[in-house]
Amino acid sequence: MKTWIGLMSGTSMDGIDAILVSFDGQKIQVHNTHTTPYPDDIRQRLFNLSQNRGTPDDIGELDHTVGSLFALAAATVIEKSGFQASSVTAIGSHGQTLRHHPDSATPFSLQIGDPTIIAERTGVTTVADFRRRDLAAGGEGAPLVPAFHKTFFSVAGEDRCILNLGGIANITHLPADKNEPVTGFDTGPANALMDAWCLDQTGRAFDKDGSWAEEGEVNQALLGDMLSDAYFLRQPPKSTGTEKFNLEWIKTQLRRHSELSGADVQRSLLELTAVSVAQQLPQATGMTIFACGGGAKNRALMGALQRTCGPARIASTADLGLDPQWVEPAAFAWLASQTLSGKPGNLPEVTGARGKRILGAVYYV
């Protein structure tokens, strides 16, 4: 039995999720999981860099520090599982995204978390830097998880949508007819704006269960202004990140709405996530939406999605056998297995690349 580790830290920059898994056809066996939180000072420095506030020294130092934390997360999940490092085939590390600019004149996506440190400290072959080959082939470099969704969650005769609610929301439509192409793209913000506003206004890193948002009311004028952003109107393939949807974006939107309470803004941001997802869903009768990512734990957001996305049914990827927190880490474990098998990891119909590509760079031990 081959085992794989997936390491993931998303746009929320709250920590590193590590999963130890094995794959058998369309089945995923989870052997163990572990989360290594970022220390507050590291998270703040990462956020500063993501907003272009920093120096080359900062990037180099954090590349080393984050790589060390990724290595620690991998080593810890191995220890917790009772496995030996020598029995792990490879680690797939997403890294920590600092900037994602697929639409610039010189497209790029920058992740840090030195994979050589991960390989050296764990003694396990490490695959990293998954996004750049797709970008070089003319793609967005994101989202990459739809290929994983297609492999493990697609069922003939049933329309499914996998909705990942991280800092950014992305959807994967798995059509009932397997002859139809899978589609997937970033719909816009999920937790990124709510987290940024909550931290700015309350000092809390996130709004647990959406309880603060529930104290406010949706301001339809603000919601309309936010939904008029050109990103929501763009046709896929498309991807985005916190370099666009951030605290400054909120404050720009609020210039005409300075009278609103903090809770009203939070409630409107929650509604923005729900409505922007609903407006961009594929039209499919009897579709079930399986949510994953941190936003799947936000009770108020899940309620808003059920209201805005009806008649589609809202469920959790736990119903498909994989806890919402561990879908993306498992995806990068699988992407590592694809790379080492010489198989492509992207879906050109999703990213817009010129064709299927083997993704990532391999650091052998």
Question: In a structure prediction context, what are the per-residue pLDDT tens digits for the chain, which is 365 residues long?
Answer: 999 999 999 988 999 999 999 999 889 999 999 999 999 999 999 999 999 999 999 999 999 999 999 999 999 999 999 999 999 999 999 999 999 999 999 999 999 999 999 999 999 999 999 999 999 999 999 999 999 999 999 999 999 999 999 999 999 999 999 899 999 999 999 999 999 999 999 999 999 999 999 999 999 999 999 999 999 999 999 999 999 999 999 999 999 998 999 999 999 999 999 999 999 999 878 999 999 999 999 999 999 999 999 899 999 999 999 999 999 999 999 999 999 999 999 999 999 999 999 999 999 99
**Domain span holding position 150:** 146-320
The CATH number linked to 152 is 3.30.420.40
**Both 266 and 349 in a single domain?**
no
Structure tokens at 231: 């990103």
Report DSSP state, residue 313: E
List, in order, residues 6 or more apart from 345 with CB less than 8 Å away. 130, 144, 147, 335, 338, 339, 357, 358, 359, 360
Residue spans of beta strands (DSSP E) within 209-354: 288-292, 313-316
**Both 212 and 285 in a single domain?**
yes
The alpha carbon dihedral of 131, 274, 297, 210 has a sign of positive
Which pLDDT score, from 0 to 100, does residue 285 have?
A: 80
**Both 308 and 167 in a single domain?**
yes
**Is there a binding annotation on residue 16?**
yes
Instruction: Provide the b/e sequence for 339-361 (b: ≥16 CB within 10 Å).
Output: bbeeebbbbbebbbbeeebebbe
Which pLDDT score, from 0 to 100, does residue 41 have?
A: 96
- Contact status, residue 265 vs residue 174, Cβ threshold 8 Å: no
* Residue type (1 letter), 94: H
**Is there a binding annotation on residue 15?**
yes
Which pLDDT score, from 0 to 100, does residue 5 have?
A: 99
Which pLDDT score, from 0 to 100, does residue 284 have?
A: 77
**Both 19 and 82 in a single domain?**
yes
**Both 173 and 301 in a single domain?**
yes
**Is there a binding annotation on residue 17?**
yes
**Both 172 and 314 in a single domain?**
yes
**Both 48 and 108 in a single domain?**
yes
Query: Residue 101: how many CB atoms within 10 A of its CB?
Result: 18
**Both 286 and 346 in a single domain?**
no
Alpha-carbon torsion, ordered 226, 230, 235, 241, to 10 deg: -70
Report how far apart, in Å, the C-alpha atoms of 202 and of each of 23, 109, 195 are: 43, 31, 10
Instruction: Provide the b/e sequence for 304-331 (b: ≥16 CB within 10 Å).
Output: bbeebbeebebbbbbebebebbbbbbbb
**Is there a binding annotation on residue 12?**
yes
**Both 126 and 190 in a single domain?**
no
**Both 129 and 166 in a single domain?**
no
- Contact status, residue 46 vs residue 96, Cβ threshold 8 Å: yes
- The Cα 304–Cα 171 span in angstroms is 16
**Both 263 and 116 in a single domain?**
no
The pTM (predicted TM-score) of the whole model is 0.96
* Residue type (1 letter), 345: G
List, in order, residues 6 or more apart from 275 with CB less than 8 Å away. 223, 227, 308
* Residue type (1 letter), 290: F
**Both 171 and 261 in a single domain?**
yes
Question: Count of domains in the chain?
Answer: 2
